[in-house]
Amino acid sequence: MAVKKIFVVGAGLMGGGITQVAATAGYKVTMRDISDEAVNKGLDAIKWSVEKFASKGKITEEVAAQAIENITPATSMDAASDADLVIEAVFENLELKQNVFKELDGITPKDAVLATNTSVISITKIASVTQRPEKVVGMHFFSPVPMMKLCEVVRGLLTTDETVSVATEFAEKIGKTPVVVQKDVAGFIANRIGLALSGTAIRLVEMGVATPEDVDKIMKLGFGHPMGPCETADMTGIDILHNAMVAIFDETKDPKYWPPELLQRMVTAGLIGRKAGKGFYDYSSGEQKSYWEL
């Protein structure tokens, strides 16, 4: 199956990032969100990003300009009527994603592949509301999408080899390195490993063993991680991390995925990371600063 037209549902951080890399690779992309305001905000972020890439010599000015030309904004789901590949990037909520996929199933061509950018939700559950579960696949991109190379391609219980192949080839063509997850397990590969590590790190902070800064130093200097678990949690969003851990725990009942009490309290207090100006670090000055004391 030749993929030419892409439809992205969501113009936020993930949807905008996916749109950017696909458009930069030369694909025609329609980016849809629920309002003109949301779509325009996403477009502005993409324009800023591609211009920054061009200023650093990562892409040419011509490629940057063409990437913007390749993007068509939309607020109606009907714009997916001629899409070859749809990538959904809405909030991590099963009911919301199922509603999106049910609607897309009735609009898109019958041979179109429907992909979800979920990081923890079962592909099989999302696919169950469609009449084409064999054409539903997970494409878990990592944030920030233009910078991060990995893409987990996740096979649902009924996903065919052909669908996996379409998603894998597309990921490669937009500059990503795909890893195929052969079984639809909660959290897939990356979050089954990463969230167990994050939970352990946060519990050490909670116990007063070390500050977030010291935990991050250990993982960066001792294990070669580019970012520590507390920095990563702030970038991802403490609330998103919390919800992802709950989602895996609900499926597995494995206690190591139950969110630490500290994480729950931070969500309640609004200390949810960079987007709020404060999480494990303080970002209110525009820079990441340590403030945690034991």
Would you say 154 and 184 are in contact if contact means Cβ atoms under 8 Å apart? yes
Q: Could you tell me what percent of the chain has a pLDDT over 90?
A: 97
pLDDT by residue for the chain (294 residues), tens only, comes to 789 999 999 999 999 999 999 999 999 999 999 999 999 999 999 999 999 999 999 999 999 999 999 999 999 999 999 999 999 999 999 999 999 999 999 999 999 999 999 999 999 999 999 999 999 999 999 989 999 999 999 999 999 999 999 999 999 999 999 999 999 999 999 999 999 999 999 999 999 999 999 999 999 999 999 999 999 999 999 999 999 999 999 999 999 999 999 999 999 999 999 999 999 999 999 999 999 998
Domain boundaries, the chain: 5-181, 190-276
Task: Report d(CA 30, CA 86) in Å as an integer.
Answer: 9
Query: Tell me, which fold does domain 5-181 have in CATH?
Result: Rossmann fold (3.40.50)
Would you say 129 and 101 are in contact if contact means Cβ atoms under 8 Å apart? yes
Task: Locate 154 and state its tokens.
Answer: 């996740």
pLDDT score recorded for residue 231: 97
pLDDT score recorded for residue 1: 73
CB atoms closer than 10 angstroms to residue 62: 9
Sequence-ordered list of residues with C-beta below 8 angstroms from that of 168, at least 6 positions apart, any chain? 153, 178, 180
pLDDT score recorded for residue 294: 85
Nearest to 260 by CA among 271, 280, 245: 245
- List active site positions: 119, 140, 152, 191
Query: Tell me, which fold does domain 190-276 have in CATH?
Result: N-(1-d-carboxylethyl)-l-norvaline Dehydrogenase; domain 2 (1.10.1040)
Q: β-strands 136-141, 150-155: how paired?
A: antiparallel
Task: Locate 6 and state its tokens.
Answer: 């892409």
**Beta-bridge mates of residue 53:** none
Task: Report d(CA 9, CA 67) in Å as an integer.
Answer: 18
* pLDDT digit string, tens, across residues 137-182: 999 999 899 999 999 999 999 999 999 999 999 999 999 999 999 9
**DSSP code, position 178:** E
Task: Report d(CA 235, CA 212) in Å as an integer.
Answer: 14
CB atoms closer than 10 angstroms to residue 215: 22
CB atoms closer than 10 angstroms to residue 172: 12
Task: Report d(CA 197, CA 174) in Å as an integer.
Answer: 29
The widest CA-to-CA distance across the chain, in whole angstroms, is 58
Please give the helix or strand (H or E) that residue 7 lies within, else none.
strand 5-9
pLDDT score recorded for residue 2: 85
